[in-house]
Structure 1
Amino acid sequence: MAAFARSAPCWVDVQLPDLEAGKRFYGELFGWTFRAGEGPYADAFSGGELVAALAAKQDGRMPTAWGIYFATDDIAASVARIREAGGQVITEPVRSGRAGVLAQAADPGGAVFGLWQAGDREGFQKQNEPGSFCWTEVHTRQKDRVDPFYEKVFGFQGTDLEPSGPDAARTGPDGSPPIGFRMWSPAGTEPGPDTAVGGRSVITDAFPAELPSYFLSYFAVEDCNRTAGNAVRLGGRISAPPFDIPYGRMAVLQDDQGAVFAVLQPPVSENGAE
């Protein structure tokens, strides 16, 4: 299991009202298999490799949503930086058995994310391949507060881009035009699309004021159109129909319990390789 660079996305999980229904949906959609974890929790595997987890909500007030976690080698220091940068710590660092230590926080715009300090579990065993995580981005109305927050907390270097790339889901559920996207590259790398691990998008006034800031995570798929159709067949919904972007073809979907996620089909090169 490979170690993750500091501040890299390293894990995703989803909180659902009905865990068994979630296993049926994602098992058929992505071909995942499951292994029971501690408590109401199921680890998801793609081709025998760990890719995500599903959890039964313990509190009905919790959102039905996918959550993203960023790697840290010092969770106490990361939590301190979050507070210093104007964020809010929702869950103080807590040990998850021998697997590691986790915490949850919100940025100044209210988007929630997690921190993970690895123990026996580093995080994903597979990513950027069909059936696994490939990208994440925060959608916010407060970019002038949020940009310096992530740069201070995670050391991200920002690259402002014209609307293109795997960030295109920032068009939102109604497909309104995207604006103001920034890609994040880890500290010590050359900023740009080749090194980016995530990004920030702007929620415009075209969306209802009650829409909160949020993270949208993507999963790689072999066929975007087919995956979107299968999601509907399984009881889910299409929030943004499949469309082409420079990084392939993508769609924004909801599962049959309302959790939102995106799928991305990588482009095929002239020689037929992705």
Structure 2
Amino acid sequence: MTASEPAPLTGATAPCWVHLVTQELGAAQRFYGAVLGWTFRNGPLGRDYVMARSDGVPVAGIGAVASAYQVAVAWTPYFSVRDADVASARIRERSGTVAVGPLTIGTGRAVLAADRDGASFGVWEWTGRAASLAPSGRRSHAWLRLRTRNAFDAAIFYGEVLGWESGAPGCCEVSYVKEEVLVRCAGRPLARISSGAVEAAPDPMVRPHWQVQFPVDDVAATVRAAERHGGVLMERRSVPLGTEATLRDPDGGLFTVTDVRSPAADDD
């Protein structure tokens, strides 16, 4: 396993990795190290990539390649697939967009894409020896929320592209909870899909997007740390069983911190 390479967390269509595309690697390491307590390790993908670790566990990749690939600074989730070419074809067939790839990166193949409402995501075909980035114990190091125009339409799109509910080994399951869609992989809740985003909204917080959420012990303290190190609070709100805050890092990357430990916490 090399720095910034995704590896399967659970099944073949599960969310498997989160990755930040940024402009300046050193600045990103200083910010996220101070705010989330991460440490970083270099790897053979080159000097522009590092793997972020929490308590010794790989939790995210960071690549200073926004200019090289002419893509926006952003946190992006990746989903594990068996065949990146098949996934790319399915995305296009369903009116999504393939922006980059499939590219061979280390021991895998990556695709950067957008769904038909414009939310960016990636797919990853693991071609090397299987490995796991699953954290030990019950603590999750990140989970996902898709804010989209229509949660049920989005669930159909991702279900058809990624094979959710296909019955294949390792496929994810979806359930409909309180007008949202909850995605579970191997029984583990990993993502929630919510309606209400507006495609043409000038505010990126309102447009369809995948929101990467990092659980923290103290949201208020994390917000203060982010602001001390050049971050900006975009939104703070109460949610069932907790609080979440969306922040913008100094390079413009949006991410969310929350004291809710699971996308299914308010359904337990």
TM-score, normalised to structure 1, is 0.76
CA contact (8 A) 1:222 1:266 kept: no
CA contact (8 A) 2:117 2:199 kept: no
One of 18, 22, 27 as aligned partner of 1:12: 18
Encode CA deviations 1:41-100: one digit per residue, 9 max, x unaligned.
Answer: 1111112221111111342742111011011122222223222322222223221123x2
Match of 1:26 in 2: 32
One of 225, 240, 243 as aligned partner of 1:245: 240
Cα separation, partners in 2 of 1:16 and 1:92, compared to 1, 3 Å: closer
Q: Within 1, Cα distance between the matches of 2:129 and 2:30? A: 28
The alignment's C-alpha RMSD in Å is 2.8
- What is the aligned length? 240
Match of 1:196 in 2: 189
CA contact (8 A) 1:11 1:123 kept: no
Q: Within 2, Cα distance between the matches of 1:45 and 1:79? A: 30
Encode CA deviations 1:138-177: one digit per residue, 9 max, x unaligned.
Answer: 2222556433211211215543333xxxxxxxxxxxxxxx
State the secondary structure of the residue aligned to 1:59.
helix
State the secondary structure of the residue aligned to 1:196.
strand
Q: Within 2, Cα distance between the matches of 1:86 and 1:206? A: 15
Cα separation, partners in 2 of 1:72 and 1:249, compared to 1, 3 Å: same
Encode CA deviations 1:190-210: one digit per residue, 9 max, x unaligned.
Answer: xxxx75321222244698356
**Gaps spanning 5+ residues in structure 2: where?**
1-6, 166-172, 262-268
- Do residues 258 (structure 1) and 252 (structure 2) align? yes
AA aligned opposite 2:175: T
Q: Within 1, Cα distance between the matches of 2:96 and 2:39? A: 36
CA contact (8 A) 1:10 1:122 kept: no
AA aligned opposite 2:13: S
Percent of aligned pairs with the same amino acid = 30
Encode CA deviations 1:174-196: one digit per residue, 9 max, x unaligned.
Answer: xxxxxx5322235xx7xxxx753
Match of 1:183 in 2: 182
Q: Within 1, Cα distance between the matches of 2:221 and 2:96? A: 39
Cα separation, partners in 2 of 1:266 and 1:116, compared to 1, 3 Å: same
Match of 2:169 in 1: none
State the secondary structure of the residue aligned to 2:189.
coil
AA aligned opposite 1:27: G
Shift of 1:123: 5.8
- Do residues 106 (structure 1) and 122 (structure 2) align? no
- Do residues 150 (structure 1) and 144 (structure 2) align? no
CA contact (8 A) 2:9 2:133 kept: no
Q: Within 1, Cα distance between the matches of 2:199 and 2:98? A: 30
Cα separation, partners in 2 of 1:218 and 1:121, compared to 1, 3 Å: farther
State the secondary structure of the residue aligned to 1:44.
strand
Match of 1:220 in 2: 215
